[in-house]
Structure 1
Amino acid sequence: TDSYPGWGYMVKEGATTIWESWGRFQPANPRWRTDSMMMFAVIEEFFYSHLAGIQGPGFFGPRTIAPGFQTIHIRPHVLGDLEWARASIKTVRGMISSCWRKDEEGLTLNVSIPANCRARVGVPLLGSQSVVISEGGHRVWADRRFQPGTAGVNKGTEEPDRITFDVGSGEYCFTAVYKTP
């Protein structure tokens, strides 16, 4: 595919080599992404960082993630007809994992956050603006608002392409049911 994120996106944007990062060009911050050829390039980073969504420490621009994965961002990308993705990363703080599955019912996102860490977990909207999200069977997002009261889920915010929740360490199972307007 030639849409972001992906190898085809780089080609569509005029790349003649593999870029140093998977990032999009941002006119407001052109230094955020470098187009230099990436030495020893591997595709594995695309799978865990973009498809499964486990975001590593930022290397360019403002630092948004604490050192040593103390604060974790999980922002999976559900692309095309891909039905699932799963990845885990062993870090100095413990194992981080993300697994999502899409079906006709909606999307299920399971994440594991190590002890003494916190995370921002983004549940994709998949083009819908009407979604109900539950965690462990407890509603955490409905009517475009955070629904408080679920242990470990501290805050929910709406972003253009996802609903993001602030969570503590532990195992979480987010279930999203998308409604057509």
Structure 2
Amino acid sequence: MAALSIKHSATSIWERWNGWTPETGFGDPGMNSFAHYSFGAVYQWMVENIGGIRNDAPAYKKIVIAPTPGGKLTNADVRYDSIRGRIESAWKKSGGKLTLNVTIPANTAATVLVPAKSADAITESGKPLAKAPGVKFLRMEGDRAVLEVEAGNYKFETRAE
């Protein structure tokens, strides 16, 4: 039944699998939400852990992007529409390389944690971090480079471990 909601272009979790069917139409209006929170915690976990998008100040004035590539996942593309605009974190592991594309909305800033052995191993749009506009290397935290970035679009690349 879950596939039915997807087949009919649902963009949310329905409270009841049979909230609408081709045979009977809409279900009981007393309990038939088409925007049920049911699995909202799972969505939040995916946004915050797989995509690494987290709020770091009220109303997303500051953002943290700290994805956790690994396991059997080879890529993820996560978007969150905050009050300040769309935040994106998309990563892909391929051919021994990790690519992390990040979008930070206007009038905000972000801390981005890039999995890497060192800051020298990372490029942004093909440039070393030291020459990348809007990017400042802060420090290494274990196997992640901690960067401060201004609003904008970034493409970080490093070796995939």
Task: Name the TM-score, length of structure 1 as normaliser.
Answer: 0.63
Distance 2:115 2:119 in 1: 12
Number of paired residues? 124
Partner of 2:30: none
Aligned-residue offset at 1:84: 0.3
> Gaps (5+ residues) in structure 2?
1-36
- Which structure dedicates a bigger proportion of its chain to helix? 2
Structure 1 position 106 matched with structure 2 position 97: yes
Partner of 2:54: 55
Distance 1:72 1:133 in 2: 20
Partner of 2:122: 133
Structure 1 position 121 matched with structure 2 position 112: yes
3-state SS, counterpart of residue 107 of structure 1 = strand
Aligned-residue offset at 1:124: 1.5
Q: Over the residues paired in the alignment, what is the CA RMSD in angstroms?
A: 2.1
Partner of 1:176: 158
Distance 1:53 1:85 in 2: 10
Q: Structure 2 matches for 1:162-173, cutoff 5 A? A: 162-173=144-155
Distance 1:93 1:85 in 2: 22
Distance 2:61 2:144 in 1: 22
Identify if the C-alpha distance between structure 1 residues 95 and 175 changes in structure 2 by more than 3 Å, giving closer, same or farther. same
- CA displacement 1:23-76 (0-9 Å, x = unmatched): xxxxxxxxxxxxxxxx955311121110010013xxxxxxxx211111100000
The percent of aligned pairs where both chains have the same amino acid is: 33
3-state SS, counterpart of residue 46 of structure 2 = helix
Report the AA paired with residue 100 of structure 1: W
Distance 1:123 1:104 in 2: 18
Distance 1:163 1:85 in 2: 20
